[in-house]
């Protein structure tokens, strides 16, 4: 059945390789569970889950600083609303395609279900590249993008957030345009500024949550993060706050990267060095190679940090950034835990190796769910017109990560005590959405 099912997916969604990859992982994990629970089979739940409820594709025209007209493509994939309004980020990156957004939206359905919050799944974005654009150009693009998107979103319908290329600046411009069009001050985006409806801890949430998840995985072996050498990829939102939490918990982060290459700082990235990275990436919008010049350490151009010896790896840049060869190198150099801040950063071949070696492998949809979880908390605060304290949001985030870990253990632990987080997360995420779909009839 998995082969037949995947054949239909590959034919029916031709050329969408990232989407095939994401569906294959879930289908392989849940097929047995579905067979054991024929109610899901008879109601064709998985067949329905892989078909987005709605896809919106639109033209985004805007004028650059030279007065030239630019044209990009905008998307919103509204994947599943069985347990709540569509929820998931917007990605602005030249590689954005329907395949990438369908894979991300599909992952999001299971991830959001795992948080135990009432959130459906969606994802959107554009092939627009904010890199090298002026603030005014980014603003004009965001205004044009939102002019169309505004028709399709709403606080009880679809609530986008940030992702690669969409941070506080972009969310601000998008929100301003929505408010102008609708004359409504309402929670239609998360990741908003603190003065205008944002939640404390939302910027930190994905990175912090990923480290909390790694902590839970280590606890199952009686270990902690203290003194652990960690490699981190990326140097954006997720990577920055992963490093911040690692420092706080006594681990040593030794790498960061961007699409140009990675830096290796064997002394560890301390708070002062991290502050430099935040200024460099969030304000000056510079390249990570400048870290190597400033702190006199090595920079490896066009390479990824998986060749550096570590105890734990935190891939926090993009999809498929750990391939089979990198996974082998990681294992050979002693890495015993991988916690994915990014979405689907390990190729299927790499995942196979992690599972064969029985390391602690925390896949993205479980390990990086802290971001959307705090987005869910931002929505609750917006509905109540209240702001919770930093401590309160952080405590809730920690609790949610602990619960997600427990769900993975519930469905993923075998007789010998090995926890297959892939199986655990996929079945736990699937069951809740599937039951809601059964209750709601054939829609
Ligand atoms: P940012 O845009 O803040 O940072 C992305 C980082 O990854 C940058 O350092 C960027 O380098 C690097 N990067 C992006 N694409 C590539 C590529 N093709 N090859 C090498 N490096 C690349 O994004 P986020 O930190 O928000 O997101 C990172 C990952 O985490 C993504 O997979 C995202 O889907 C996932 N995620 C994010 C959440 C969030 O709350 N933000 C929530 C859950 C998951 P450069 O600047 O050179 O492009």
Each residue of 373-388: pLDDT tens digit? 999 999 999 999 999 9
Average pLDDT over residues 324-346: 98
d(CA 421, CA 415): 14
Tell me the catalytic residues.
123
The average pLDDT across 23-37 equals: 96
Residue 317 CA to ligand 1 centre (angstroms):
4
The sign one gets for the Cα dihedral 19, 340, 321, 29 is negative
Q: What is the mean pLDDT of residues 349-363?
A: 98
DSSP-derived 3-state class of residue 191: coil
Ligand 1 center to residue 121 CA distance, Å?
19
- Please give the structure tokens belonging to residue 443: 């829609």
Q: Is 121 in the pocket of ligand 1 (CB under 6 A)?
A: no
Query: Cα Rg for the chain, rounded, in angstroms?
Result: 21
Whether 354 and 346 have beta carbons less than 8 Å apart is answered as yes
CA distance 363 to 351: 9
Phi/psi of residue 441, nearest 5 degrees? 80, -175
The number of CA neighbours under 13 Å toward the Cβ of 6 is 15
Beta strand 337-339 pairing with 360-362: parallel
Average pLDDT, the chain: 97
The residue contributing the CA closest to ligand 1 atom 19 is 259
- Percentage of the chain beyond pLDDT 70 is 100
For residues 253-271, average pLDDT:
98
Residue 256 has pLDDT above 90, yes or no: yes
8-state DSSP, 118? S
The residues, ordered by sequence, that sit 6+ positions from 3 with a Cβ below 8 Å of its Cβ are none
Mutation choice for ligand 1 from 119, 168, 202, 318, CB with most ligand atoms inside 8 A = 318
Pairing of strands 229-232, 312-314: parallel
- Domains of the chain from N-terminus onward: 2-185 (3.40.50.10860), 205-362 (3.40.50.720)
Paired strand residues for 77: 55, 123
Residue 328 token pair: 């082998």
Element of type H or E holding 420: none
CA gap 324, 346 in Å, rounded: 8
Compute the distance between CA of residue 346 and CA of residue 326 in angstroms, rounded to an integer: 9
Number of neighbours of residue 132 by Cβ within 10 angstroms? 7
Q: Which atom of ligand 1 is nearest to 260's Cα? A: 47
Q: How far is the CA of 320 from the centre of ligand 1 (A)?
A: 12
Verify whether ligand 1 is closer than 6 Å to residue 339 (CB atom): no
SS3 of 382, please? helix
- What would the two tokens of residue 198 be? 């944002």
326 lines ligand 1 (CB under 6 A): no
Alpha helices in 385-443, H assignment, sequence order: 390-412, 421-439
pLDDT in tens, 133-152: 999 999 999 999 999 999 99
Q: Find out whether the beta carbon of 207 lies less than 6 Å from any atom of ligand 1.
A: no
State the DSSP H helix or E strand holding residue 77, giving kind and residue range, or none if neither: strand 69-80
Statement: the pTM of the whole predicted model exceeds 0.85:
yes
Distance CA 437, CA 442 (A): 8
Instruction: Compute, in angstroms, the gap from residue 385 CA to the centroid of ligand 1.
Output: 31
At 1, the pLDDT band (50, 70, 90 cuts) reads low
Q: How far is CA 346 from CA 223, 261, 300, in A?
A: 24, 18, 21
Hey, what are 66's tokens?
A: 């030279």
**Mean of pLDDT values over 173-189:** 97
**CA 274, 279, 282 angle in degrees (round to 5)?**
110
Instruction: Identify whether the C-beta of residue 19 lies closer than 8 Å to the C-beta of residue 102.
Output: yes
Closest CA to ligand 1's atom 42: 371
What CA–CA distances, in Å, run from 303 to 131, 242, 256, 289? 20, 20, 11, 12
Q: How confident is the model at residue 122 (pLDDT cuts 50, 70, 90)?
A: very high
| Residue of 201, 234, 240, 286 to test ligand 1 pocket, by largest number of atoms within 8 Å of CB | 234
Q: For ligand 1, is residue 370 a contact (CB within 6 Å)?
A: no
Of 238, 377, 378, best ligand 1 pocket probe by most atoms within 8 Å of the beta carbon: 238
Check if the beta carbon of residue 409 is closer than 8 Å to that of residue 424: yes
Parallel, antiparallel or unpaired: strands 69-80 and 54-63:
antiparallel
Nearest CA to ligand 1 atom 4: 236
Q: Which atom of ligand 1 is nearest to the CA of 258?
A: 11
Residue 404 has pLDDT above 70, yes or no: yes
Residue 11 to residue 8: CA distance in whole angstroms: 5
Distance 236 CA to ligand 1 centre (A): 6
Residue 2 has pLDDT above 90, yes or no: no
Q: For the segment 54-99, what is each residue's pLDDT rounded down to a tens digit?
A: 999 999 999 999 999 999 999 999 999 999 999 999 999 999 999 9
Q: Is the CB of 112 under 6 A from ligand 1?
A: no
CA of 256 to the centre of ligand 1 (A): 12
């Amino acid at each position: 059945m998995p082969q037949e099912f995947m054949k239909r997916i590959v034919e029916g969604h031709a050329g969408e390789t990232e989407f095939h990859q994401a569906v294959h992982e879930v289908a392989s994990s849940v097929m047995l569970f579905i067979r054991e629970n024929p109610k899901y089979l008879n109601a064709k739940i998985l067949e329905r889950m892989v078909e987005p409820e709605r896809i919106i594709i639109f033209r985004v025209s805007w004028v650059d600083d030279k007065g030239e007209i630019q044209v990009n493509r905008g998307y919103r994939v509204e994947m599943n609303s069985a347990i709540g309004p569509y929820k998931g980020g917007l990605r602005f990156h030249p590689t954005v395609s329907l395949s990438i957004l369908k894979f991300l939206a599909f992952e999001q359905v299971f991830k959001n279900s795992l948080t135990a919050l009432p959130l459906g799944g969606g994802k959107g974005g554009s092939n627009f590249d904010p890199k090298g654009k002026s603030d005014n150009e980014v603003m004009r693009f965001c205004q044009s993008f939102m002019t169309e998107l505004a028709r399709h979103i709403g606080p009880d319908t679809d609530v986008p957030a940030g992702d690669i290329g969409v941070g506080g600046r972009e969310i601000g411009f998008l929100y301003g345009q929505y408010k102008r069009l609708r004359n409504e001050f309402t929670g239609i985006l998360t990741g908003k500024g603190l003065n205008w409806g944002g939640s404390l801890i939302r910027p930190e949430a994905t990175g912090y949550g990923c480290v909390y998840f790694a902590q839970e995985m280590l606890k199952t072996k009686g270990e902690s993060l203290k003194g652990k050498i960690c490699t981190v990829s990326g140097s954006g939102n997720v990577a920055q706050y992963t490093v911040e939490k690692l420092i706080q918990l006594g681990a040593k982060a030794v790498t960061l990267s961007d699409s140009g290459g990675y830096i290796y700082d064997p002394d560890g990235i301390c708070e002062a060095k991290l502050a430099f990275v935040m200024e460099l990436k969030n304000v000056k919008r510079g390249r990570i190679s400048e870290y190597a010049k400033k702190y006199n350490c090595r920079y490896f151009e066009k390479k990824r940090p998986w060749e550096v010896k570590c105890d734990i790896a935190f891939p926090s840049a993009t999809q498929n950034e750990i391939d089979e060869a990198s996974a082998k190198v990681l294992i050979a150099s002693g890495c015993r835990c991988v916690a994915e801040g990014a979405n689907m950063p390990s190729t299927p071949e790499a995942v196979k190796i992690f599972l064969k070696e029985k390391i602690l492998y925390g896949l993205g949809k479980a390990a990086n769910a802290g971001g959307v979880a705090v987005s869910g908390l931002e929505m609750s605060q917006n509905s109540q017109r209240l702001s919770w304290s930093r401590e309160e949001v952080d405590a809730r985030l920690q609790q949610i990560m602990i619960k997600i870990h427990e769900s993975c253990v519930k469905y993923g632990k075998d007789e010998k005590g090995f926890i297959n987080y892939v199986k655990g997360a996929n079945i736990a995420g699937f069951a809740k959405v599937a039951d809601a779909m059964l209750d709601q009839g054939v829609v």
